[in-house]
């Protein structure tokens, strides 16, 4: 039995990043503008630090100005908001990213909404969300993970998804709802499912496109998937496994890859699928913000 095509997000992201690097050099030459990305991290959570380092490395490799602001775990909310206010006013900064999650004493919504929409390269501001839901994304920022997912889907099925059915597993504001909006704009017929959905496996089994973004390792099994479907696995779960008698941590998705790859037409692996695309789209949004600041887009 033929296995599904493995969608290579790593190579796709590398191609996208190479193009961003070329456009960055051209923008600097033509308008003396270097895209600037400022990342704010609170505390010393190891996973967050890894993500921030990867983003900083990617920004620098694209030729961006990259600034990292590390704040103590105990930082007050007014101090975080003052930093964001300074970054909002800094003309060298085109994108501001606050690494989530934040400590419990900080209000995540207040802090993310303090970033002005034109520098909200994560796409979390209500104005950007509203524009996405209204189908007006020419001057808005789309959240990076859904934007990356959409590129991978378009690579497989084209930009017009008329006649295709899509099921999104998960209704988060960061992935589930935005990817559903993007799929709708591409003319797919979209169903959003979640923990309260009855007979979830049956709903998923009719879909030509499945996007799994629920945070439960190996939840999606082969008997959930329509033969030939495109399966996009957004899940990044750290699970403990015993290898050669030793406990080790392994990254796995929300999809049981070994099972589903026998049925699907194309599938993203974890790692190496959606993850690299998320960082590439962050760079793309930051470059776009810099171009908009010069009146070249929007």
Q: Is 58 a member of any domain?
A: yes
- CATH code for the domain in which residue 242 is found: 3.40.50.720
Looking at the structure of the chain, the number of domains it has is: 2
- Kindly state whether residues 83 and 148 are assigned to the same domain: no
Question: Taking the complete model, does pTM exceed 0.75, yes or no?
Answer: yes
pLDDT at 1: 54
Same domain, 95 and 168: no
Residue 54's CATH number: 3.40.50.10860
Residues 148 and 211 in one domain: yes
- Asked if residue 176 and residue 63 are part of one domain, the reply reads no
In a domain, 81, yes or no: yes
* Per-residue tens of pLDDT for the chain, all 298 residues: 568 999 999 999 999 999 999 999 999 999 999 999 999 999 988 878 888 888 999 999 999 999 999 999 999 999 999 999 999 999 999 999 999 999 999 999 999 999 999 999 999 999 999 999 999 988 899 999 999 999 999 999 999 999 999 999 999 999 999 999 999 999 999 999 998 999 999 999 999 999 999 999 999 999 999 999 999 999 988 887 777 777 777 889 999 999 999 999 999 999 999 999 999 999 999 999 999 999 997 5
C-alpha 207/C-alpha 226 separation (Å) is 6
C-alpha distances (whole Å) from 56 to each of 51, 83, 161, 232, 270 are 9, 18, 35, 26, 22
Catalytically annotated residues: 55, 99, 122
Domain assignment of residue 132, yes or no: no
264 and 195 in a common domain: yes
Are 78 and 186 in a shared domain? no
**Are residues 106 and 171 located together in one domain of the fold?**
no
SS3 138: coil
45 in the same domain as 95: yes
**Domain for residue 236, yes or no?**
yes
Q: Is residue 159 assigned to a domain?
A: yes
Quote the domain boundaries for residue 70: 31-116
Q: Quick one: pLDDT at residue 238?
A: 82
178 and 240 both lie in a single domain: yes
**Residue 227: exposed, middle, or buried by beta-carbon count in 10 A (0-12, 13-18, 19+)?**
exposed
Alpha carbon of 265 to those of 35, 156, 227, 262: distances in Å? 38, 9, 7, 8
Whether residue 261 is found in the same domain as residue 171: yes
């Amino acid at each position: 039995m033929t296995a599904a095509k493995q969608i290579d997000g790593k190579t796709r992201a590398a191609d996208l990043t190479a193009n961003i690097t070329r456009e960055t050099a051209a923008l600097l030459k033509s308008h003396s503008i270097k895209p600037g990305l400022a990342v704010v991290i609170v505390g010393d959570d190891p996973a967050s630090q890894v993500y921030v380092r990867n983003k900083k490395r990617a920004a620098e490799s694209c030729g961006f100005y990259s600034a990292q602001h590390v704040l103590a775990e105990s930082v007050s909310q007014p101090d975080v908001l003052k930093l964001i206010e300074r970054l909002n006013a800094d003309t060298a900064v085109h994108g501001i990213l606050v690494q989530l999650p934040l400590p419990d004493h900080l209000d995540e919504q207040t802090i993310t909404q303090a970033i002005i929409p034109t520098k909200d390269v994560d796409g979390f501001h209500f104005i950007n969300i509203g524009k996405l839901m209204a189908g007006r994304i020419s001057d808005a920022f789309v959240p990076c993970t859904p934007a990356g997912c959409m590129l991978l889907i378009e690579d497989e099925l084209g930009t017009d998804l008329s006649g295709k059915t899509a099921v999104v597993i998960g209704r988060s504001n960061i992935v589930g709802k935005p990817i559903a909006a993007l799929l709708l704009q591409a003319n797919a017929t979209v169903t959003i499912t979640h923990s309260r959905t009855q007979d979830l496996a049956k709903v998923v089994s009719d879909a030509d496109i499945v996007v799994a973004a629920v945070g439960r390792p190996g939840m999606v099994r082969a008997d959930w998937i329509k033969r030939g479907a495109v399966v996009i696995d957004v899940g990044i779960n750290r699970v403990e496994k015993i290898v050669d008698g030793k406990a080790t941590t392994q990254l796995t998705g929300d999809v049981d890859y070994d099972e589903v790859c026998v049925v699907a037409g194309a599938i993203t692996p974890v790692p190496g699928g959606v993850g690299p695309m998320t960082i590439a789209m962050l760079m793309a949004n930051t470059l776009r913000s810099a171009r908009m600041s010069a009146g070249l887009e929007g």
